[in-house]
């Protein structure tokens, strides 16, 4: 068995919440556009990518992002981000798992790309994490290696001590290259099983 890791870093949206892309699809269907329009835009449209990167890094705010992205999608811009995230809720099982990790004396940290910075519940961040890194405050975003290093530093641990959990595969590769154990979050039970193995604690 490989050496156990001694710290946990996690993403927010899509890991401690329900599936973001499912919410995006619901929004698109409700507004008469292709269900996969948002994912397609971010993968293939340089203008949409640039808007997203600027928003996540805090170079533009929501009021600047919404009209431009709404025009690309062909949907109303008022309350666009709230609409896109309208079907997103907390994943209570994952949240309690992070709480259990911290209660066990294992340092925990958040490394999150943000769509604006006002949607994070501050009281919960204080309860769950020893270190917090939100891209909109820092001016850097995953998958830049610097943001993972900052997450480890703020959590008070070495990168190679960490498990990092994210719902997007391409965000895991830099973490792995820094010596972190990378866990692709697709289903809660599967993630908990992997965290129990890597951290050596019972989360259920």
pLDDT tens-place string over residues 88-106: 999 999 999 999 999 999 9
pLDDT at residue 1, rounded to an integer? 45
Distances (CA, A) of 18 to 63, 90, 180, 183: 25, 6, 24, 17
pLDDT at residue 3, rounded to an integer? 84
- Tell me the per-residue pLDDT of 112-153, one tens digit each, with 9 for 90 and over: 999 999 889 999 999 999 999 999 999 999 999 999 999 999
Residue 51 shares a structural domain with residue 140: no
> Is 77 among the domain residues?
yes
pLDDT at residue 2, rounded to an integer? 64
Q: Give residue 179's domain range.
A: 7-18+89-199
Domain boundary residue among 64, 84, 104?
84
SS3 annotation, the chain: CCCCCCEEEECCCCCCECCHHHHHHHHHHHCCCCCCHHHHHHHHCHHHHHHHHHHHCCCCCHHHHHHHHHHHHCCCCCCHHHHHCCCCCECHHHHHHHHHHHHCCCCEEEEECCCCCCCCCHHHHHHHCCEEEEHHHHCCCCCCHHHHHHHHHHHCCCHHHEEEEECCHHHHHHHHHCCCEEEECCCHHHHHHHHHHHHCCCCC
CA angle 19–28–79, rounded 5-degree value: 85
Residue 81 has pLDDT above 90, yes or no: yes
Residue 141 shares a structural domain with residue 190: yes
Inter-residue contact 185 to 191 (CB < 8 Å): yes
Residue 189 shares a structural domain with residue 94: yes
* Residue percentage of the chain with pLDDT more than 70: 99
- Tell me the per-residue pLDDT of 24-69, one tens digit each, with 9 for 90 and over: 999 999 999 999 999 999 999 999 999 999 999 999 999 999 999 9
Rounded to the nearest integer, the mean pLDDT of the chain is 96
């Amino acid at each position: 068995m490989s050496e156990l890791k001694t710290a946990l870093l996690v993403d927010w949206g899509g890991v401690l919440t329900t599936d973001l892309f499912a919410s995006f699809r619901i929004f698109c269907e409700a507004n008469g556009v292709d269900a996969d329009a948002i994912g397609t835009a971010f993968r293939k449209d340089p203008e949409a990518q640039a808007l997203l990167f600027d928003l996540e890094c805090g170079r533009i705010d929501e009021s600047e992002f919404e009209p431009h992205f709404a025009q690309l999608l062909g949907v109303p811009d008022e309350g666009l981000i709230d609409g896109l995230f309208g079907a997103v809720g907390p994943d209570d099982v994952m949240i309690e798992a992070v709480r259990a990790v911290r209660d066990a004396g294992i340092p925990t940290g958040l490394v999150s790309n943000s769509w604006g910075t006002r949607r994070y519940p501050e009281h919960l961040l204080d309860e769950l994490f020893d270190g917090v890194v939100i891209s909109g405050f820092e001016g850097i975003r995953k998958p830049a290696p610097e943001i993972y290093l900052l997450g480890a530093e703020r959590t008070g641990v070495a990168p190679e001590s960490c498990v990092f959990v994210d719902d997007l595969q391409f965000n895991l590769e830099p973490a792995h290259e820094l010596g972190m154990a990378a866990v692709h979050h697709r289903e809660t039970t599967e993630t908990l099983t992997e965290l129990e193995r890597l951290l050596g604690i019972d989360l259920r």
